[in-house]
């Protein structure tokens, strides 16, 4: 699909209008596979953010007070439109983000599944009648929290937005979204379809900006905004939490990870290799749930490393729009440099490059799928999320050591392990300090399951029947004199 066939929306979306920045400023968005400019979007700041918040506030009673069934019908129409346009939306993701088309199609279906899910969950927001009140009646009501804000990342520009907006809308909230500056077109395309589906003006607003700081400050400090949901780095999450503290704003944070993937000697090695490839090289390793550390029991470490290196070297690298490509480019030059730094540091600490290890012959932002053997737990790659196509293999001796190494990180998003011993499966799953554990499975996310982390990986859950709670307030009502 050519760029002009993508029908890119090059305006922001505020109060149901497609608008330019107040001063007319724009910034360019590029294709990471080619470096070409795809188009421009408005470069907005605090003033436009305030306008969007006010629009969301005006729309709140219109949306919140509508029967949940009607909200669900509109959201279902939105879901249908997203799936009908899956191909165009997938091409937009690939153009601005770089991932292979088959993954982009999957991302559209994934995001849409949350719209469908929360349309339904919104109809099942039950309260309680609490017994034991004697001459009183004790009730618990659950009500939409109000105007909410979302700041989303570039790695899943469509999926992350759909996951957040759908929970907010299902609960009866309105939302102002600030997409990542590298990938705004996917969110504008979703907003366009929401408008077509009949989501009322002001319920969903998209503010685009080159500099996220003034927008983030307004979203956290404006007293109208009662909740912030953020997906991105732990560093930025902490800044936003500090800002939100002054406003005592409720926050959901999906932050960085440093996922271990443990392979025990009783595991099915081929299944473990398949799982490792799927979690590590998907989206070129730029996924917060990607395994970052491969902890492998000594007796099978060489066999596993060899099989992994063979499978990684067979992956096809190239522009995501080409058929047969498995791994696209990294998002920007800084990301490539971080990958190089992590590899050089691991090698300096005694690691061996088993495959890859360098930029790809295609040049630009392409990097070879890499496997490192004999990596030390002192290497930088053990402590920091690489966010690139590098699999470091670290050997361990005992189950206790594996758990200690896995938990030796301030992060606690996802973790994985491979074992066929049922007692070990329960033991290890209970001891891993992570919000999500995959056992003999490396692709975990589903709209039906609670996605989220602990420790420095964040707070709150997205998806599942629990996900809607992040957008609801509980109100206790006590009726006396009965
Ligand atoms: P990544 O490391 O994945 O690029 P970031 O945390 O830098 O993640 O970015 C995630 C989102 O947070 C993007 O939408 C980005 O524009 C936004 N962002 C970055 N810095 C700030 C900030 N200081 N205030 C508000 N938003 C920010």
Residue 143 CB–ligand 1 contact under 6 Å: no
| pLDDT for position 4 | 78
Number of residues that this document lists for the chain: 482
CB of 236 within 6 A of ligand 1: the answer is yes
Q: Is the pLDDT of residue 376 over 90?
A: yes
φ, ψ of residue 302 to 5 degrees: the values are -65, -45
**What tokens appear for 345 in the block?**
């540091």
pTM (predicted TM-score): 0.97
CA distance 251 to 230: 8
- Residue 1: what pLDDT? 79
How far apart, in whole angstroms, are the C-alpha atoms of residue 43 and residue 26? 5
Q: How far is the CA of 414 from the centre of ligand 1 (A)?
A: 21
Cα–ligand 1 centroid distance for 9 (angstroms): 22
- Calculate how far, in angstroms, residue 175's C-alpha sits from the geometric centre of ligand 1: 18
Question: Is a pLDDT exceeding 90 seen at residue 287?
Answer: yes
**Minimal CA–CA distance to 111: which of 30, 19, 34, 177?**
177
pLDDT tens figures, 402-461: 999 999 999 999 999 999 999 999 999 999 999 999 999 999 999 999 999 999 999 999
Phi/psi at 38 (5° precision): -90, -30
- Ligand 1 pocket, residue 302 CB under 6 Å: no
Query: Of the candidates 212, 216, 93, which has an alpha carbon nearest to the alpha carbon of residue 161?
Result: 93
CA 233 to ligand 1 centroid distance, Å: 7
pLDDT in tens, 289-341: 999 999 999 999 999 999 999 999 999 999 999 999 999 999 999 999 999 99
Task: Report the separation in Å between the CA atom of 283 and the middle of ligand 1, taken as the mean of its atom positions.
Answer: 19
Q: Tokens 């800044």 sit at which residue?
A: 239
**Any ligand 1 atom below 6 A from CB of 180:** yes
Pairing between β-strand 414-418 and β-strand 390-396 as defined by DSSP bridges: unpaired
Classify residue 371 by its DSSP letter.
E
For residue range 17-26, list pLDDT tens digits in order. Answer: 999 999 999 9
pLDDT in tens, 204-213: 999 999 999 9
Question: Mean per-residue pLDDT for 31-57?
Answer: 98
**Ligand 1 atom closest to 237 (CA):** 6
Q: Please, what is the average pLDDT of the chain?
A: 97
Q: Where are the beta strands (DSSP E) in 290-435?
A: 291-297, 352-355, 370-373, 390-396, 411-412, 414-418
CB atoms within 10 A of CB 264: 22
Whole-angstrom Cα distance, residue 466 to residue 398? 36
**Closest C-alpha to 169, from 146, 186, 190:** 146
Does the Cβ of 152 fall within 6 Å of ligand 1? yes
Q: Specify whether the backbone of 443 is left (phi greater than 0), alpha (psi in -120 to 50) or beta.
A: beta
Q: Which pLDDT score, from 0 to 100, does residue 5 have?
A: 84
Q: Give nearest CA residue, ligand 1 atom 15.
A: 180
Angstrom CA distances, 332 to 154, 329, 388, stand at 11, 8, 11
Distance 237 CA to ligand 1 centre (A): 8
Q: Map tokens 């305006």 to a residue.
A: 11
Check whether 198 has a pLDDT greater than 90: yes
Query: In Å, what is the CA distance from 128 to each residue of 52, 138, 142, 476?
Result: 35, 8, 9, 9
Q: What is the 3-state secondary structure (H, E, C) of 229-262?
A: EEECCHHHHHHHHHHHHCCCCEEEEECCCCEEEE
Over range 171-187, report the average pLDDT: 98
Is the CB of 153 inside a 6 Å radius of any atom of ligand 1?
A: yes
Which one of 46, 236, 284 would you pick to mutate in the ligand 1 pocket, going by the greatest count of ligand atoms within 8 A of its CB? 236
| Measured distance CA(296)–CA(397) in Å, rounded | 9
Q: What is the β-pairing status of strands 250-254 and 225-231?
A: parallel
Neighbours of 391 (CB within 10 A): 32
Query: Is 333 tagged catalytic?
Result: no
pLDDT at 104 > cutoff 90: yes
Q: Which two tokens stand for residue 416?
A: 């994985």
Q: Is the distance from CB of 193 to CB of 10 less than 8 angstroms?
A: no
Kind plus residue range of the DSSP H or E element containing 349: none
Give the per-residue pLDDT at 133: 78
Residue with the smallest CA separation from ligand 1 atom 8 is: 232
For 245-265, how does the pLDDT look when each residue is reduced to its tens digit (9 = 90+)?
A: 999 999 999 999 999 999 999
Cβ(212) to ligand 1 under 6 A?
yes
Residue nearest to atom 23 of ligand 1 (CA): 213
Q: Which of 180, 184, 234 to mutate to test the pocket of ligand 1 (most atoms within 8 A of CB)?
A: 180
Strand 225-231 to strand 174-178: parallel, antiparallel, or no bridges (unpaired)?
Answer: unpaired
Q: Which of 44, 49, 151 to mutate to test the pocket of ligand 1 (most atoms within 8 A of CB)?
A: 151
CA of 110 to the centre of ligand 1 (A): 22
Q: Tell me the CA–centroid distance for residue 30 and ligand 1, in Å.
A: 18
Give Cβ neighbours of residue 209 (< 8 Å, ≥ 6 apart): 43, 44, 45, 178, 181, 215
User: What is the residue with the minimal CA distance to atom 11 of ligand 1?
Assistant: 153
DSSP calls for 153-182? -SSSTTHHHHHHHHHHHHHT-EEEEE--TT
Instruction: Please indicate whether residue 214, judged by its CB atom, sits closer than 6 Å to ligand 1.
Output: no
Atom of ligand 1 nearest to the CA of 155: 3
Q: Which of the residues 254, 385, 399, 447 is marked catalytic?
A: 254
Residue 321 CA to its chain's centroid (Å): 22
Task: Say how far apart CA 253 and CA 151 lie, in whole Å.
Answer: 10
């Amino acid at each position: 699909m050519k760029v002009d066939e993508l029908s890119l929306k090059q305006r922001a979306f505020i109060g149901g209008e497609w608008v330019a920045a107040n001063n007319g400023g724009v910034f360019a968005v590029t294709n990471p596979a080619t470096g070409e400019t795809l188009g421009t979007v408005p470069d907005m700041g605090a003033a436009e953010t305030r306008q969007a918040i006010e629009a969301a506030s005006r729309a709140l009673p219109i949306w919140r007070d509508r029967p949940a069934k009607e909200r669900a019908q509109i959201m279902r129409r939105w879901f249908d439109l997203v799936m009908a346009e899956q191909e165009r939306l997938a091409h937009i993701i690939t153009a601005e983000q770089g991932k292979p088309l088959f993954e982009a199609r999957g991302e559209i279906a994934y995001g849409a599944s949350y719209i469908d899910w929360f349309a339904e969950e919104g109809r099942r927001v039950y309260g309680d009648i609490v017994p034991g009140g004697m001459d009183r009646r004790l009730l618990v009501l659950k009500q939409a929290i109000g105007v909410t804000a979302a700041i989303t990342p570039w790695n899943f520009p469509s999926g992350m937005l759909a996951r957040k907006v759908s929970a907010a809308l299902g609960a009866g909230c309105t939302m102002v979204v600030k997409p990542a500056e590298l990938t705004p077109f996917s969110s504008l395309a979703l907003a366009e379809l929401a408008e077509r589906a009949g989501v009322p003006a002001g319920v969903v607003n998209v503010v685009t900006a080159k500099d996220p700081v003034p927008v983030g400050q307004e979203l956290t400090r404006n007293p109208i905004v009662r909740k912030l949901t953020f997906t991105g780095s732990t560093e930025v999450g902490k800044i936003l939490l500090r800002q939100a503290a002054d406003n005592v704003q409720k926050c959901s944070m999906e932050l960085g990870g440093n996922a271990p993937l443990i392979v025990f000697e009783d595991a099915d090695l081929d299944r473990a290799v398949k799982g490792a490839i799927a979690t590590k090289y998907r989206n070129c390793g730029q996924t917060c749930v990607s395994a970052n550390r491969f902890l492998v029991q000594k007796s099978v470490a060489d066999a596993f490393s060899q099989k992994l290196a063979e499978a990684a070297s067979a992956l096809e690298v190239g522009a995501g729009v080409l058929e047969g490509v498995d791994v696209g480019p990294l998002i920007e030059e800084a990301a490539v440099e971080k990958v190089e730094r992590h590899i050089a540091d691991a090698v300096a600490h005694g690691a061996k490059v088993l495959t890859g290890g360098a930029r790809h012959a295609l040049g630009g932002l392409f990097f070879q799928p890499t496997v490192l053997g004999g990596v030390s737990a002192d290497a930088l790659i053990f402590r920091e999320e690489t966010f690139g196509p590098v699999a470091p293999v670290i050997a361990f001796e005992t189950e206790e050591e594996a758990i200690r190494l896995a938990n030796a990180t301030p992060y606690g998003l996802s973790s994985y392990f491979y074992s066929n011993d049922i007692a070990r499966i329960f033991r290890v799953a209970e001891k891993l300090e992570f919000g999500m554990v995959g056992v003999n499975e490396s692709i975990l996310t589903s709209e039906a399951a609670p996605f989220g982390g602990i420790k420095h990986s964040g707070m709150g859950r997205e998806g599942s029947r629990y996900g809607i709670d992040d957008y609801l307030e509980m109100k206790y009502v006590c009726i006396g004199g009965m």
